């Protein structure tokens, strides 16, 4: 039963009705017209009956309620969700700013206004303002994360932005990092160690910071989080640990280091405080690094346009691991990447001499001229090889030829050791070989068996089956 009334006889009409859970509900009709208020009450009563009977889904109320809320309210709660999940304040703030920027370009006030076409136009507008494709992809990821959270938190029925395609940022890389060589790293560390304090960081500390960055692949923020307890230098395999709160992948990263680096760190840590960061990493690491690059005579941007910034030290570490022959899995673990594609594709740089050495595996396509000894060994003896001589010989043909040669040698031996008039009891000389040779000579002359008794068989005339011709060929050699 639904009813309408006014509190103290003034103001808007209040609607009272029983919802689908059999609970008495009241709400303002937001109108002073009684007829309109009664129509709203009838609608609420009918909807409650339909939901009670299962005709309507009770969850539709939640989606309808969330759809009526402004997009700004959802963005504020999304930012709070990122912080509660454990994201850094910097990452959460950047993600929120991306969503707000796209919403402003789309002129979106509610969830329904964030359509795929509107978001794509907004990102295209960011691209046309001069930003790189990598920046556009970062903005797109933030908005897609926001849309996924709306769907996951039952604020939207579906994620309409899930199928947006990212740009191929490899075709438009605005910032390509230089891969420092070992010589450049040594010069940089030496210049920093001999230099004065820069941005409240001494030269010795800067030199050790560069050594540790190049020997672990740690990022600047991770190096700034290290305390004295992070170093385990007395173990058989010395390690440095980055706490999960500061690691990019949000888990404790135990990184092994070389023994020579462990020896240098052991003596350097002796006068460091027991608590607090051991590296006083400035916020503007680029300014600090550029000072030491100038002192070392290393350009910040090389002839190819590649820059030597602080993150280039991490590139040098990963490239050295990959080029040193480590397996893909080992390189991925040491680089602390989620996928091996990122390790091999973006962070490892193949130098020119590395690629040139790999070319030795290619075959030499120059034609090879055989020597005279090789020709004599094959039996050609410098003659032009005919087509039928160059054809492969079957094993059964070779065995037949060897058998005939054995018979002929036996026949020749018998002819030389016996006379025509032999005594009774002695073996008579074998004449079958001579008869067979005569038959084959007739076949070479184009004749068949004597008297042409048998039908000619063209297969018998095959050159590969002529022992006589083959024997003559061997005599020539």
Q: What angle do CA 167, 168, 169 make, to 5 degrees?
A: 95
Predicted confidence (pLDDT) at residue 459 exceeds the cutoff of 60: no
Reduced to 3 states (helix: H, G, I; strand: E, B; else coil), residue 366 is: coil
Average pLDDT score over the chain: 79
Predicted confidence (pLDDT) at residue 424 exceeds the cutoff of 50: no
Q: Within a 10 A sphere around the Cβ of 141, how many other Cβ atoms?
A: 14
> What integer pLDDT is reported at residue 341 of this predicted model?
72
Distance CA 237, CA 26 (A): 70
**Assigned token pair, 105:** 């370009």
Predicted confidence (pLDDT) at residue 405 exceeds the cutoff of 80: no
> What integer pLDDT is reported at residue 138 of this predicted model?
93
Using pLDDT thresholds of 50, 70 and 90, give the confidence band for residue 355.
Answer: low
Predicted confidence (pLDDT) at residue 239 exceeds the cutoff of 70: yes
CATH superfamily for 182-356 is Intergrase catalytic core (1.10.443.10)
For 151-170, how does the pLDDT look when each residue is reduced to its tens digit (9 = 90+)? 999 999 999 899 999 888 77
**Assigned token pair, 200:** 């409240």
- Contact predicate 322/331, CB 8 Å: yes
* Phi, psi of 304, deg, nearest 5: -85, 0
Distance CA 82, CA 65 (A): 23
| Architecture of the domain made up of 68-171 | Orthogonal Bundle (1.10)
Average pLDDT of the residues in 419-444: 50
Reduced to 3 states (helix: H, G, I; strand: E, B; else coil), residue 5 is: strand
Give the domain ranges of the chain: 3-56, 68-171, 182-356, 381-412+431-476
Predicted confidence (pLDDT) at residue 398 exceeds the cutoff of 50: no
> What integer pLDDT is reported at residue 387 of this predicted model?
47
pTM given for the model: 0.55
Distance CA 178, CA 285 (A): 16
């Amino acid at each position: 039963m639904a009813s309408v009334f006014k509190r103290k006889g003034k103001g808007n009409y209040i609607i009272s009705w029983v919802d689908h859970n059999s609970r008495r509900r009241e709400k303002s009709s937001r109108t002073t017209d009684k007829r309109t208020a009664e129509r709203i009450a009838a609608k609420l009563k009918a909807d409650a009956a339909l939901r009670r009977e299962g005709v309507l889904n009770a969850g539709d109320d939640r989606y309808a309620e969330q759809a009526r809320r402004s997009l700004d309210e959802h963005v504020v709660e999304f930012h709070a969700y990122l912080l509660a999940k454990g994201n850094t304040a910097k990452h959460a703030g950047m993600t929120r700013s991306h969503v707000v920027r796209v919403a402003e370009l789309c002129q979106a006030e509610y969830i329904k206004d964030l359509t795929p076409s509107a978001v794509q136009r907004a990102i295209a507008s960011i691209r046309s303002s001069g930003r790189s494709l990598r920046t556009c992809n970062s903005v797109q990821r933030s908005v897609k994360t926001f849309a996924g959270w709306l769907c996951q938190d039952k604020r939207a029925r579906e994620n309409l932005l899930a199928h947006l395609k990212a740009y191929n940022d490899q075709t438009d890389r605005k910032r390509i990092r230089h891969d420092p060589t070992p010589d450049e790293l040594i010069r940089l560390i030496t210049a920093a160690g001999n230099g004065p304090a820069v941005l409240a960081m001494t030269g010795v500390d800067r030199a050790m910071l560069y050594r540790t960055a190049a020997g672990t692949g740690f990022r600047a923020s991770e190096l700034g989080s290290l305390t004295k307890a992070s170093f385990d230098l007395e173990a058989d395999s010395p390690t440095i640990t980055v706490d999960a709160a500061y690691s990019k992948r949000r888990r404790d990263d135990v990184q092994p280091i070389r023994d020579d680096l462990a020896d240098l760190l052991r003596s350097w840590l002796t006068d460091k405080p027991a608590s607090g960061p051991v590296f006083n990493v400035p916020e503007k690491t680029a300014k600090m690094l550029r000072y030491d690059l100038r002192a070392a005579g290393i350009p910040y941007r090389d002839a190819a346009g590649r820059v030597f910034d602080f993150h280039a030290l991490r590139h040098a570490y990963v490239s050295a691991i990959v080029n040193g022959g480590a397996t893909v899995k080992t390189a991925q673990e040491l680089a602390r990447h989620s996928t091996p594609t990122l390790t091999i594709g973006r962070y490892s740089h193949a130098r020119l001499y590395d690629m040139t050495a790999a070319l030795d595996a290619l075959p030499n396509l120059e034609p090879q001229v055989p020597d005279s000894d090789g020709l004599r060994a094959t039996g050609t003896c410098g003659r032009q090889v005919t087509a039928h001589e160059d054809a492969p010989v079957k094993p059964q043909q070779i065995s037949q030829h060897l058998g005939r040669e054995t018979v002929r040698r036996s026949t020749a031996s018998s002819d030389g050791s016996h006379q025509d008039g032999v005594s009774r009891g002695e073996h008579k000389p074998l004449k079958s070989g001579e008869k067979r040779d005569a038959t084959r000579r007739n076949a070479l002359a184009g004749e068949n068996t004597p008297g042409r008794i048998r039908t000619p068989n063209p297969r018998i005339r095959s050159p590969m089956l002529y022992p006589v011709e083959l024997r003559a060929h061997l005599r020539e050699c």
